[in-house]
A and B are shown apart, each in its own frame.
Chain A
Amino acid sequence: MNIAQQLVNGIIIGHAYALVAIGWTLLLGAARLVNFGHGQIYMVSAFVAWWIMSMTGAPYVLAVVVAIAAGAVIGAIMQRLFLRLTLSQDLVNLMIATLGFGQILEGAAGLTFGPKPETLTSPLQAVTFDFGPVWFTAQDALAVGATILVFLGLHVVLNRTRFGAAVRMVAEDPPLVALYGIPISRVYISIFAFEGAAVALAATLIAPRTPILTSMGFEQVVMTFVVVVLGGIGSVGGSYVAGLLLGLFTAIFSALISPAYTTAAVFALLIAFMVLRPGKLAAGGNFAR
């Protein structure tokens, strides 16, 4: 077995996990929203990109841009729907509502795109780099690079800009935000749109690795859920680290022990973590850091 290659795979998968998770992390940190519709936004964005490419023959880059826009719109719609629940911080009902929202997306995508598996093709998928025992594709490199950029960018925006301050304010004390003259629903809509756009970016960069299906929402992001929680609620840096570690863990666990039980192992880890350190799930003091 090629340990070096497994490590490389782990790093790539880990960045993919982190990138898929970033929008959700922000959403959870700022709006306390556990978004079970996240996977379906991923799925829809991948299909939008595929559809653009196969219907219009547009290049991959354009498809990426359109998919990101579509993701942002879905996020914004979600915010409009959930505004009341978000403002009243009815966290539990919100969580169920996102489950329903995911079902809507899945149903709508099934009706629109059909049940067949499709392939989102990226020209970079065919470009491979070989370094002795390890290899990866240009698409992988792009995903890793984009993840790092997105995380750095988000970190800077959250900590260095007034808009970022507004997001942190919303996370800390939503009613108080109004007294600072800031319309809270605008902040929320930006956060939700970011969630949608970020997961769409992730989808377009990562989905070319495997065939896409309208029913894939759940499996594609189930690991994200772990990243988001293990990273510390809403912690941007934390979810990067958690994503990376999780990628390495899954790569090594599936190579050495059992690929089939990887998900179970990861979730068992998650349960252990949540049970042993429930305090970590309380309001995010380390949000945005």
Chain B
Amino acid sequence: MNAHPTYFRILGTVALALLGFFLPRFLGGSSHVYDTLGTIASFSAMSYGLDIILSDLGEISLAHTAFFATGAYASAILSVDYGQGAWVAMAGAVLAALALALVLGLITLRTREFAFSLVTYAAAVVCMNIAANWDFLGGSDGIVGIPPLALTIGPLSFAASQPPQFWPFAYGLLLLTLYVVHRFRRSRLGQAALMVHMNPRLASMCGVDGNRVRLLVFLVSAPISALAGWLYAFQRAYVGTDLFDTYFLVLMLTGVILAGRRLLLGPLLGTALLVGQKSFFSLGAYGDKLVLGAVLVGVLCFCPKGLASLWPRAPGRALRQM
């Protein structure tokens, strides 16, 4: 590829990123808009964690609510119980998620397909049960009183107590996540994951150690969802066992599947549609649940490759899967 298109691509990406940053203003700039977009950013970051397991490794992890919750709980404990700042909370969230992912990754190493999903599901149930009963984790009351997000970078410090102030953090995390996922897909690990997914025998003949790849992908994926949890904890100022709710799981799965797998912006678009509906066209808690479920079932039953596959000019490379 010559230099020109690359140059334009970078410019285009930067322009798009800037546009995205000012999106809340274009949408009216109300607190509600900021709040919604902030939620979209953190939930889609959460979905990206699952996305690389689901789209690249081809397995369905039902434990990502646990990673999300781990990030949130670690942040809450560090900032409320230990009075630590947001950076420390962030590091804690990542480390805790890595530890959990390592344990889970080792446990699930030999399981495939629905055995993998069942084990990860069971793990999520165990985590929830522990969170609901262990006082250190706040028990069934959860942990309240998380201070507003405040980050210091050198001489600069940012604090966010209102949704508009929170937005840059959420947006920054989203961009970071997108960058990581993009880089992951181009990395040797990402390629290896795809190979292990598409053709495990060929992969092992090429000297790719399937189990090692699976474990590493798990370790890349968990902190992404955990960072989303970190952000969400500050955004809501409260963590509780509802973080393990099936709602989040279904949201993540639908977000990933709705637009189409292995599309970089897929989970973002999927999540944006779902959260946007809930936020601007809400049918009440039950109605929203119904919509979410119906979207998931509808996509899987009638358009299992995602909405993007209905797009006539959809790039074949990105859509090719399984």
Contacts and interface: CB of A to CB of B under 8 A. Distances in A.
The answer to whether A binds B is yes
Nearest to B107: A275
Interface stretch (A7-15, A83-91, A148-156, A245-253): A83-91
Task: Find the residue from A32, A106, A107, A214 having the highest chain B CB count within 10 A.
Answer: A107
Interface residues of A, number: 45
A261 B129 contact: yes
A103 interface: yes
Contacts of B9: none
B133 interface: yes
A222 interface: yes
A107 B288 CA distance: 7
Interface stretch (A55-63, A161-169, A234-242, A262-270): A262-270
A103 B111 contact: no
Nearest to B249: A99
Interface string B158-172: 000000000000000
B200 to A, nearest CB: 15
A81 B133 contact: no
B237 interface: no
Task: Find the residue from B107, B130, B284, B290 having the highest chain A CB count within 10 A.
Answer: B290
B34 to A, nearest CB: 27
Given A99-B296, A100-B296, A264 B290 contact: no
A104 B111 contact: no
B176 interface: no
Contacts of A267: 122-123, 125-126, 129
Nearest to A262: B129
A97 B296 contact: yes
Given A106-B289, A222-B125, A274-B111, A95 B301 contact: no
A273 B11 CA distance: 53
Given A81-B297, A271-B107, A110 B250 contact: no
Contacts of A261: 129-130, 133
B301 A85 contact: yes
A31 to B, nearest CB: 12
A34 B125 contact: no
Contacts of A263: 125-126, 129
Task: Find the residue from A93, A94, A267 having the highest chain B CB count within 10 A.
Answer: A267
Contacts of B110: 275, 278
A34 B287 contact: no
A95 to B, nearest CB: 6
A209 B124 CA distance: 27
Contacts of B121: 225
A108 B301 CA distance: 19
A79 B129 CA distance: 32
A97 B295 CA distance: 10
A142 to B, nearest CB: 30
A105 B285 CA distance: 13
B286 A107 contact: yes
Secondary structure call for the A interface: helix
B79 to A, nearest CB: 26
A34 B250 contact: no
Interface in B173-212: none
A274 B122 contact: yes
A6 B59 CA distance: 41
B117 A34 contact: yes
B290 A91 contact: no
A101 B297 contact: yes
Contacts of B117: 34, 92, 95
A111 B300 contact: no
Contacts of A99: 246, 249-250, 253, 293, 296
B294 interface: yes
Contact of A107 (B122, B133, B291): B291
B300 A102 contact: no
Contacts of B293: 99-107
Contacts of B114: 32, 34, 91-92, 95, 281
Interface of A: 32, 34, 81-82, 84-85, 90-97, 99-111, 214, 218, 222, 225-226, 229, 260-261, 263-264, 267-268, 270-271, 274-275, 278, 281
Interface of B: 59-60, 107-108, 110-111, 113-115, 117-119, 121-123, 125-126, 129-130, 132-133, 246-247, 249-250, 253-254, 257, 284-297, 300-301, 304
Q: Which 10 A-B pairs have the closest CB atoms?
A: A103-B293, A107-B290, A100-B296, A110-B286, A107-B289, A104-B293, A264-B129, A260-B133, A100-B297, A97-B300
Given A96-B60, A100-B300, A261-B129, 17 more contacts: A85-B301, A95-B114, A100-B250, A100-B292, A101-B297, A104-B294, A104-B297, A105-B293, A107-B288, A107-B291, A222-B125, A260-B133, A264-B126, A271-B107, A275-B110, A275-B111, A281-B114
12 contacts: A85-B301, A85-B304, A95-B60, A96-B300, A107-B290, A110-B289, A226-B122, A260-B129, A260-B132, A268-B126, A275-B107, A281-B114
